[in-house]
Structure 1
Amino acid sequence: MKNLFRSVALVAVIFLGTQYVSAQQKIGHINADEIFQMTAEFKTANEQLRTLNDAKTKELQGMYEVFQQKQTEANEKLRNRSEANKSTVDAELQTAGQELQTMEQRIQEVQRVAQEDLQKKQQELLTPIQTKVMNAINAVAKDKGFAYVLDTSNGNVIYFQGGEDISADVKTKLGIAANATPATPAVAPATR
């Protein structure tokens, strides 16, 4: 009986101790995307991505303009077709149609490759920055004794009140000015 009482008392002490420790856990929050976009590295990478995106867009626009010009020429030939030149114009239109189809396929291929290149470059440039930001968040959370840090940027936190916003500490750790504003991404972010 005495052992049973000791066991119950021990379980109660453990339970209450666990509840006390749980109640003491600190919870913080941060907008990680905003911090990410404030880093100098992101702004540099963003400019590189914008330049690459602009170059790919310009290349595709040039190809599309040539395609439209050839299409206009083919339409003009079709309008000027008569019985006298029908067989010659029909042969030219058939050749032009094949050429236009080949050009369209080439444009689609260049567009696909451009998209892949942009995604690959985005991954190459942004992954190290993401790692750096996450390391800074983890270091600040550890230094300040947080058990949990919630990321308010991904929309999963519906409501938070209280807790401690560790954004300023992470900005300081990353060397970001307190009044810095996030850069607007040059291209849609890849999955992070």
Structure 2
Amino acid sequence: MNKIKTLVVAFLLISFASFAQSNDQPLKIGYTNVEYILLQLPESKQIESELKTHSTQLENQLKGKYSEYEAKLQAYERGAPTMDKTIREDKEKELMNMNNSIQEFQRNAQMSLQQKEKTLVDPVIAKIDKAIKDVAKENGFTYVISNQALLAGPEDGDISPLVLKKLGVDPAKAQQTPEPAAAKPAATTPAKSATKSPVKKKN
């Protein structure tokens, strides 16, 4: 949810100076909630599904790498006392490289998940942005702000139902409580971590 909020933060204050009315007409201000509108769209379920699939793939890959690391670490710990120094040092180097690889994968997986989310959400946000601007122009609103920045205002200032109609969604069927449009992706870090030093060199 936090990532979705980050992606829509640019819409906390949306101005439409180009729609300003002439000086003899009153200022007309509307408000809406981009995150709420995003939740109502059919695309939100698709975003949730694709993010979950992508997250699961990354997590399974990471778990596989960690399981391999754990198996090699345990084998090393069992055999280390009787290993030749050269072999032991080679095993230690291999384990350190695997540990570094796991940590790099964790960082890359997080970036991949963020990029995937941005790729999925940005086009929908652009569509919502256009719908808000169209509604503002058609209904004579000079400005439209986020209701998250609104302390008080008339009910008829809420343009969310009009925006939903513009986007082909029946406002009467919209959920009343805003929720995240996409479920929080599964963590890409396994229960354990490979961040600890895998071995202690023996002389």
TM-score by length of 2: 0.69
1:114 matched to 2:109? The reply is yes
Look up the match of 1:152. Answer: 147
1:64 to 66, 86, 90: 66
Deviation at 1:134, TM superposition (A): 0.5
For the structure 1 residues 176 and 184, does the alpha-carbon distance in structure 2 shift closer, same or farther, using more than 3 Å as the test? Answer: same
Decide which structure has greater helix share: 1
1:73 to 75, 80, 91: 75
Deviation at 1:89, TM superposition (A): 4.8
Q: Percent identity?
A: 30
Q: Distance in 2 between matches of 1:129 and 1:61?
A: 32
1:185 matched to 2:182? The reply is yes
User: Could you list the runs of 4 or more consecutive aligned residues of structure 1 that deviate by over 4 angstroms after TM superposition?
Assistant: none
Gaps (5+ residues) in structure 1? 1-16
Gaps (5+ residues) in structure 2? 1-21, 186-203
Q: Give the CA RMSD over aligned residues.
A: 2.3
- Letter of the aligned partner of 2:165 in structure 1? T
Look up the match of 1:3. Answer: none
- Residues paired across the two proteins, number: 159
Look up the match of 2:161. Answer: 168
- Letter of the aligned partner of 1:167 in structure 2? S
1:127 matched to 2:122? The reply is yes
Query: Quick check: which has more Rg, 1 or 2?
Result: 1
Q: Distance in 1 between matches of 2:57 and 2:94?
A: 25
Look up the match of 1:53. Answer: 55
TM-score by length of 1: 0.72
Preserved CA contact (<8 Å) 1:32 1:152: no
